[in-house]
Chains A and B, each alone.
Chain A
Amino acid sequence: MSWAIFPYIGMISGALWTTGTFGAFKKWDDKVVNVLFFLGILLFGGFIAAMWMHLDRPPMRTLGETRLWYSLFIPLIGLLGYRRWKYFWLLAYACGMSVMFISINVMNPEAMNKALMPALRSVWFVPHVIVYLFAYAILSASSVVAIQGLIQPKKSLSLLKMGDHLVYVGTAFLTLGLLFGALWAKEAWGHYWTWDPKETWAFITWLAYMIYIHYRHFHPKKESAALWTLAIAFIVLLICWFGINYLPSAASSVHTYTS
């Protein structure tokens, strides 16, 4: 299984999710929406699994590979959120984001490289990356909630409660990812925390969500500031994930995903 067939897989999965979203908008039977989303997730997940076997290593090394996992997780979270809160736009955003990340991958083809540097050959590699990307996907769903809240101020209170749930789970995963990273770093690099640029940004991201949780706890009625905090926290997260590769201070990071 190689990148060569990825555009087709991405197109079919994207089409399934788009149709599912359309179905939710048109109020089709929920079963149909569920099945469409689930099929897309199954196909996409199958591609990642096949790629894992073909590469003989977890496909989590390059930025393109991390985008794969994100494109898988975000529709999954959109579907779970939709089943719970019944907001159609949650599906729409999830679908849109996934299709966007798939398109980025199609437009930036990567070489198939089986090599995995020795530092990444660790039992911590998979849990660290999976937990992080799951956190990223959930927290981007929370940022969608924030944007929706800023668009529809009248609904912002109920939206924020939804945002809280997503942030609690997302931050729990974020915390686990950070701590797993620290435990791994001790085994691989000799110290659990070296203020490597990626670590610093991961820490700042974590602080941003801490500020949101505490702000919500203390000011449950101040919606607009909470929504903005949530939106800004996600920008920090994006810097941590992608933006860091463009910062001069990050040139020495152990987290630069180049081949």
Chain B
Amino acid sequence: MENKKQKRKLWTGALGYAEAWVTVAGLWLIGAALQFMNGPFPDVAMMWPANIIAGSVLVAAIVLLYFFNRKKAWVKWLAGVPVAIVSLSFFGLLSVIMALTPQQAHLDPHWIMDLGWNQMTSSYPFILSYFFLLVSLGFATMKRCFPWRNKNWGFFANHAGLWIALWAAGFGAYDVQRLSMDLYTGQPEWRAYDAKGQIYELDLALELKAFIMEEYDPKLMMVHPKTGQIYDAAAQYFLTVENDSTAGNMMGFDIQVKRLMPAAAYVADASNARYEEVNQIGAAATVYAEVTKPNGEKVEGWVSAGSFAASPAWLMLDSTHTLAMAPPDPKRYASEVKIFRPEEETSEEALIEVNHPIKVGDWKIYQLSYDAEKGKWSNLSVVELVRDPWLWVVYIGVFMMIAGAVYLFTLNKDKVEPSKQA
């Protein structure tokens, strides 16, 4: 390709890595100065319609500057590989700093906050590096796509796809709304709150009909009776109780389950204190187990996980070992809700489950959490409402990149030399 010639021109035109690094250093300095003077970039400044205006200006600038200056050395430089590598490195370097610094509003020492490293995505240097990457990627895409050649489809899918995804994700981030809503059984709710606690009244209401939770089989574990510490969970010190005859060995103790009750309650009968299967709020998984100690001695008794309404039951084995039951692990949980939309005078029922959000108008509604102490008897379900008007644009980019990744497989032919277009 014409790469050889271009390379020579670039070098003789004296625009290459050195200039790219100088540009990056300049951007970082300017960004740091802005950060120092203003603090974090104010999100409100870029909310709709400011972001679509700024984003469109960027698109127009890249397209027009490219078409009117495509022969100029600086445009070739911006569209070339050195700027691509340096802008990727700059963005990568700031990402490494972000990855090593806890991202939270307040962080000591103070100079980290002055530089904006604790809230990297709202810091001026990060925004400038994002901008530089978009410029480099934008010009590179223009260069390869005009004039269009069919064999460049893979390049186009990769580069334009990434550009679109980055552009929409970056500019669109300011319009993403994430609100939480606390739903209590039987009480319609139309208020939601954001991360800062600000309350919003919505044009839809949700009523929790029922909170549903399925749990995994209960697990027996070994606990130190004095310290209350669980013996190393990573080793094989757990025994999952699947049925009435589960047996196993934990730390030298032979455990034989005699009876498993998924929901039981303690019956305080003086002559025959026991657990019995019940169907009531707070009933906990309980087993009756027989344990043979390493010295051959046998002990038997009740072991119960307990719940917010019942105490757990432990079986003392010796001075350092107690048999206990772990709190049940949730398998799936979901909210049966009724949705009211006054404007449309409708109400419908739906199930919101983890990994299965529902769509209501512009909102996607997610199962977020519940009252962990009450577990499956929780009468509170927290759902999250998310609105992202730019999502479809991001997805266009994402699907182009998926196509581009498939193209990368086709590069894997011996006839493609690294020096040719990759």
Contact = CB atoms under 8 A, between A and B. Distances in A.
Interface of A: 3, 108-119, 121-122, 160-161, 164-165, 168-169, 171-173, 175-176, 179, 182-183, 186-193, 195, 197, 200-201, 203-204, 207-208, 210-211, 213-218, 220, 247-249, 251, 259
A194 B369 CA distance: 18
Please give me the 6 A-B residue pairs with the lowest Cβ-Cβ distance, nearest first.
A172-B408, A218-B81, A115-B329, A118-B354, A175-B405, A207-B92
B20 interface: no
Contacts, number: 153
Contacts of B325: none
Contacts of A210: 88
B234 A218 contact: no
- At the interface, is chain A mostly helix, strand, loop or mixed? helix
Contacts of A251: 102
Given A175-B405, A188-B354, A118 B236 contact: no
17 contacts: A111-B235, A115-B216, A118-B354, A160-B418, A161-B417, A169-B409, A169-B412, A171-B405, A172-B406, A179-B405, A183-B398, A186-B391, A191-B176, A192-B398, A214-B88, A215-B81, A216-B418
Nearest to B334: A118
A214 B233 contact: no
B96 interface: yes
Tell me if B's interface is mostly helix, strand, loop or mixed. Answer: mixed
B405 A211 contact: no
A111 B233 contact: yes
B355 A122 contact: yes
Contacts of A189: 366
B84 interface: yes
Interface residues of B, number: 64
A169 B357 contact: no
Interface in B29-60: none
Contact of A165 (B176, B331, B384, B412): B412
Nearest to A216: B418
Contacts of A169: 408-409, 412
Contact of A119 (B216, B240, B355, B357): B355
A193 B238 contact: no
Contacts of A247: 99-100
Interface string B354-396: 1111000000101000000000000000001010100100100
A216 B419 CA distance: 8
Contacts of A201: 99
Nearest to B384: A190
Nearest to A157: B418
B331 A118 contact: yes
Among A119, A175, A247: residue with most chain B CB under 10 A: A175
A8 to B, nearest CB: 16
A86 to B, nearest CB: 14
Given A111-B237, A195-B98, A188 B355 contact: yes
Interface in B94-109: 95-96, 98-103
A118 B418 contact: no
A247 B178 CA distance: 28
B64 interface: no
A259 B233 contact: yes
Contacts of A186: 391
Nearest to A169: B412
Contacts of B404: 175
B382 to A, nearest CB: 12
Interface string B249-283: 00000000000000000000000000000000000
A235 to B, nearest CB: 12
A160 B418 CA distance: 9
B85 interface: yes
B228 interface: no
A188 to B, nearest CB: 5
Interface string B213-229: 00011000000000000
A113 B88 CA distance: 41
B145 to A, nearest CB: 17
A111 B102 contact: no
A119 B354 contact: yes
Contacts of B405: 171-173, 175-176, 179
B399 to A, nearest CB: 9
